[in-house]
Structure formats: structure tokens, C-alpha cells
Structure 1
């Protein structure tokens, strides 16, 4: 897409966005380690929605909370921003107020507040899709692995692209029953896995960065996380593929009625058609992308990462706010 809405032309625009994820991270921090997922997620949703409403944007939620999480805010189609009443929206957003909700509730590493935005018309409309099968590859493997291939062939191609023996490949997979057959195929082919209960946004980031001991991400996670991941994959020079993967009869019917084909793999450029896209994340509990919230002498310290799809620029920002 060649037309760039006004906000994306402002040099200071990405930095104003940190207030959105910082608000969600700080609100959810009160629930870290208290084993109350819904309360923590609700606090993050409320804080993120309030912060978005205070930014001078005219946006619409394309991928949000809503039906799957029984959330009354940040639902698909909701208008957001101080300028939201001033005509057609200029911006589309995808939100995940807590990526790694279970990790937050259990007080273990790897949870963060995340959102992404792009010009209007850029994000593929996933409608009622909750789940997406994903393949995330580092830059060195770009164009060399087909998502439709069986697991062994993918691993052989990845091994050749990275000049690394299959026995040393490590694949990030969410440890879910739906993946048990795929995990067996990975092991039978001779490769290793990193099995995590939650957090495939962080898993994708690890797959895209050298030194993280992960070579790719395979498997099904949330659809919002898929679109968000497609944006920062652009920024980091890797390759993303996704297909809607309904996890139940009700979702299957809704996805089919909406016109989505669960057999079709889409590239990251199909899911997010503009390079004028921005990814923002603030840590709740520390992970491979962001350090977590820490409290020191009446102040909260927050770490936010901003990634720009067009330039690949990364900004690491630290805030110290009264607590």
C-alpha cells in the first residue's frame, strides 16, 4: 500500500503508543502470581482501552478480545481514540492486553502487554477465527520452506537454509494436545523442541533472533497473536505463514460462514498488506523480548519495545512512573 495516513508520518507517533502497553502492563502487575487470570486480564483490558482513548487517533479494532474472552471492551469493530468520531477510521489495531495470561497469573516468566497497528485496509479480516496455525522462520530461511510440506521436509529445508544439522534444530511449539502428533514427527525427524504452555508471540520472536536457541515456530495459537506476529516478523526480516485453524465445531461453522478457508496458508504480507505497521510490547513478567515490571522505592520501572515494519528499527524504552 502506498498511501500513508497522517499519524504514520509523524516522527513522534510511535513513542506515544508506549503509553498503551505500559498502562496494561502496570494494571496487570497487581495480579501477577495471584492465580487469577480473568481478574488480571480484565484489569489489562480496561487500562489498555482507557489509554487508547486518550491518544489522538481515529482507529478501529480489527482483532481484539470480545467473544472468545467474554470481553466488553476492545472487541472487533470498536472505534478507538480521541478522533474516533471524526469520520472513517485511519488506523486498524490488533490487541492482546496480556500475551501469556497464565504465566502472569502463575507468576512465571514470559508475559507482556502487546498491540499492533497499521493503516486502514491493511489487516486481513479474520472475522470469527480464534485460532491460527503458524509457521515462523528466520531471515536465512526466507523463501526456502513451504508451509504445506510435511514436518520432515520442512526440517530438511530449514536445516539446509541454516547450514545446521537437523539434530541441532530446535522448534518452538505450544505444549497442547493438538500438537502431540506434530511433536512426535519433529522428534522422529531428529530435531529438538522447546515446549511451552503459553506465549507463542515470544516464541516467534525467539525464532527470528540469533542467540535465542530457537530456529522456527510451528503450530496453532491465537489468531490475534498471528496478525501481531506477522507485523514484527516484517520488522525483523523473517517470514510468517498462517492459516485459520478452528478448534471446535462451533468455530468451524462460523469461520466457514464468514468465507475463510482453513486449508489456505497466507503469507505475512497477505495478513498485513502495509509496511507502515508498528508493533509495541511492554513486559509484565520478563521474557525474551521485554524485561518485566519492577517496583523500587515507590516507582514502577517498565520496559517497552517498539518495532517498525518498514525500517526494521527497534526502540527499547524504559519508563519510571510513581507507584
Structure 2
């Protein structure tokens, strides 16, 4: 996969972040998300690729744009065939309330290298490079926390675990606290949280709990770039979701997916901050039609991680 594409894709997440950032704190979740989707879809049109959305806004009958199976990009005879996993606005509620950590994110792989995950839940565990191979979703939270503490050569009391603050996690949170570990409860945004588990300066050591399955695939792509580890198991809410998964080729509903089964080969991960978070600064509107963005661009082939701060003249910006 051409490394220059990584810098093309950052323009896509920048466009979505700039569009949705205008709605930060205004209580309009759907409007902010629609703005991000529209901007991202238009930005894809100028990239030379034969792209297919495999993780997107939902099924074709649920989403007018960026639906699963939609073709994106400017296709030419020599355009690379790529699979795209995306979330134009991860943390719609965060954006609407002006909270921390909302981002625009995409992951890119060669064709067939992403799990085609249905829009359901996924039980997840993620850690950084030092604990790679030491975690196991089949083991208890206590066992995994102790394993990460040992891998990091620090006491359990210094391990920080990030968990979505949901009623379904009451028992998990109680068990994690009983170990003596530090617990960071978040309201939304488990892609950012998974990336933080492998980001040295984030203060997060481990992600546990159930979130969205599509976000799990995107998180696995990020972990491939960062050298971290990720495992997941689908959690269906009803029989219809289980049937849809079987139609997508997932024959074992209880399968434990490793990081390589979720995202493999040469992958890229690109994200731009919408609101300030532990990884990225949010969009800043400076007046006089000028805005600043903060993005991260990662490639698994080389392990290269770039952070990009860009200044945009919104009056001169092309309308795709």
C-alpha cells in the first residue's frame, strides 16, 4: 500500500473533523454526525483508489452515505483495491456536549484484510506493546490486570484500566476495583480509549469491556500500527444480529478474535481530533476564517507514527 496515501487520508479525517466541530457543545448529535459523514464522503472522491467501505455507518438501507459495501475513491486502472473502516464522528454525544475525546477516524487495509464485523456489540481487551501476548479475553479481569502489571513491572495499584461507564459493566468495574487498580470510566469513545492503552503518555494501560464491534476492528488496526494487542468476541443483542453475522460469513458466534483476525496485512490508522482528548487536540477556530487541526497518522508496515498540526484557511479551502 502506497505510503503517500496516508497523507491523503488525513485530509479526509480533517474534513470530517472541521465539519463536525462547528456543532461542538450545541446538543445536536445527529446534525454533527451528518456534517462529518457528508464532509468525509466528499473528501474520499479525490483519492486515487478502488475503495470499499467494510465498516461504516450501517447497512445500505440504514445509511444514505458511507454504508457498508459502498464504493469510494477515484477509481483508475491502476488504483489500489482497499478496504475502509471508518467512523466520521466517534463520540457523537461527546461532540454534542463538548466533552473530551471526540475524533474522526478511518483505518485502511488491503482488500480482504479487515473482519467484516456486523453492527453489534463486542467484548474487548486491549493493551500496549509491553503486554502483547500476555492478555486473554477468556481470563478474568483480575487475571488480566495482574498480567499487565507484571509485564509493565509495576504494582497493580499503578495500573490504570479504562472502561465504558455503562450499567452492563457494574460487575466488571467492581472486580477491577477490587484488585486495587486505578479505574478510568469514560462515557463514550472506545476507539480513543483502545489507542490510549498503547500510547505511552496516555496514562492508560488496559482497556476492558463491551463496546461497538465496528469500533473494535478500527481499534485492532490502530494496535497493529502501535505494536499493542487486542482481542474481541461478538456480543449479539438479539437473534436477528446473530443471523446477520452468519450471512456475513461468521459461522461461530462465540469465536474469540485475535488482533490478526480483526486487522491484518499492511494497515493504516488515521484520526483527527474534534474535541480535546488525551491523544489529540480538538479543532480550534481562530477567527478570520482560520482553523487548526491535530491529527495522527500511523502505518503498520513501518511502525511510523506521525502527528500533524495543520492550519486551514476555510475561505480558500476547496469544496471537493
TM-score, L = length of structure 2:
0.92
The residue matched to 1:17 in structure 2 has which SS? helix
Alignment correspondent of 1:5: none
Distance 1:101 1:308, change over 3 A: same
Distance 1:89 1:250, change over 3 A: farther
Distance 1:227 1:141, change over 3 A: same
Q: CA deviation at 1:28?
A: 0.4
Alignment correspondent of 1:4: none
For residues 257 and 13 of structure 1, the distance between their equivalents in structure 2, rounded to whole angstroms, comes to 32
Q: CA deviation at 1:135?
A: 0.7
Alignment correspondent of 1:284: 274
Supply the RMSD in Å over aligned alpha carbons. Answer: 2.0
Residue 235, structure 1, aligned to residue 225, structure 2 = yes
How many equivalent pairs are there? 312
| Cα deviation digits, residues 30-56 of structure 1 (max 9, x gap) | 111110100100110011011111211
For residues 249 and 271 of structure 1, the distance between their equivalents in structure 2, rounded to whole angstroms, comes to 23
Note the 1:163-202 alignment, pairs <5 A: 163-202=153-192
Residue 311, structure 1, aligned to residue 305, structure 2 = no
| Cα deviation digits, residues 268-314 of structure 1 (max 9, x gap) | 1111121x111111111111222111111320111121011111111
Alignment correspondent of 2:260: 269
Alignment correspondent of 2:57: 65
Note the 1:129-278 alignment, pairs <5 A: 129-256=119-246, 258=248, 259-274=250-265, 276-278=266-268
For residues 34 and 23 of structure 1, the distance between their equivalents in structure 2, rounded to whole angstroms, comes to 19
> Greater shift after overlay, 150-159 or 31-40?
150-159
For residues 297 and 131 of structure 2, the distance between their equivalents in structure 1, rounded to whole angstroms, comes to 24
Alignment correspondent of 1:56: 48
For residues 112 and 247 of structure 2, the distance between their equivalents in structure 1, rounded to whole angstroms, comes to 21
Q: Structure 1: 5+ residue runs without aligned partners?
A: 1-7
Residue 105, structure 1, aligned to residue 109, structure 2 = no
| Cα deviation digits, residues 41-95 of structure 1 (max 9, x gap) | 01100110111112111110011002499421111100111107x5997100001
Distance 1:120 1:46, change over 3 A: same
Contact 1:230 1:271 in 2 (8 A): yes
For residues 155 and 297 of structure 1, the distance between their equivalents in structure 2, rounded to whole angstroms, comes to 46
For residues 166 and 212 of structure 1, the distance between their equivalents in structure 2, rounded to whole angstroms, comes to 17
For residues 131 and 161 of structure 1, the distance between their equivalents in structure 2, rounded to whole angstroms, comes to 29
Distance 1:221 1:122, change over 3 A: same
Distance 1:302 1:74, change over 3 A: same
For residues 117 and 177 of structure 1, the distance between their equivalents in structure 2, rounded to whole angstroms, comes to 33
| Cα deviation digits, residues 189-225 of structure 1 (max 9, x gap) | 2222100000111111221122322110001111221
For residues 260 and 193 of structure 1, the distance between their equivalents in structure 2, rounded to whole angstroms, comes to 35
Alignment correspondent of 1:47: 39
Contact 2:123 2:232 in 1 (8 A): yes
For residues 173 and 240 of structure 1, the distance between their equivalents in structure 2, rounded to whole angstroms, comes to 15
TM-score, L = length of structure 1:
0.91
Residue 94, structure 1, aligned to residue 88, structure 2 = no
Q: CA deviation at 1:257?
A: 5.1
Distance 1:169 1:21, change over 3 A: same
